[in-house]
């Protein structure tokens, strides 16, 4: 019922930057929260950043380097990633907690976008 479409992943050199975007679509009344998670091979999926009306939170490993933001009018979240390190290499997933027009609460995940940081 809710679709999240991600873009912006790719290959970058260490120290470089990428900007990921996640657009939510469907019969959405409001989005309570949006977040970015990542999963590297052989590791568990972990929270990278999350944004709600109350603020933001980040994984310690990305604090000071990544910034999450949201355009409420476009139902879109962004993840600005600066000073990228090889250990940031992972598949990044968008997540949203959504209230539909019907009143139904849903949690949605994007398909994932691959970020590779390598020289």
**1 pLDDT above the threshold of 90:** no
Q: What is the pLDDT of residues 11-24, one digit of tens each?
A: 999 999 999 999 99
39 and 48 in contact (C-beta within 8 Å)?
A: no
Confidence of residue 99 (pLDDT cuts 50, 70, 90): very high
HEC-encoded secondary structure of 78-105: EEEECCCCHHHCEEEEEEEEEEECCCCE
**100 pLDDT above the threshold of 90:** yes
Average confidence (pLDDT) over 69-87: 96
């Amino acid at each position: 019922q809710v679709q999240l479409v991600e873009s912006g992943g790719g290959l970058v050199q260490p120290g470089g930057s990428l900007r990921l975007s996640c657009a939510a679509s469907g019969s959405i009344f409001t989005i309570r929260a949006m977040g970015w998670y990542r999963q590297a091979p052989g590791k568990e999926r972990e929270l990278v950043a999350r944004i709600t009306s109350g603020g933001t939170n980040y994984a310690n490993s990305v604090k000071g380097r990544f910034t999450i933001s949201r355009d409420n009018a476009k139902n879109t979240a962004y993840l600005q990633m600066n000073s990228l390190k090889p250990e940031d290499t992972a598949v990044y997933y968008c997540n949203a907690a959504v209230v539909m027009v019907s009143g139904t609460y849903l949690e949605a995940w994007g398909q994932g976008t691959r970020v590779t940081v390598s020289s």
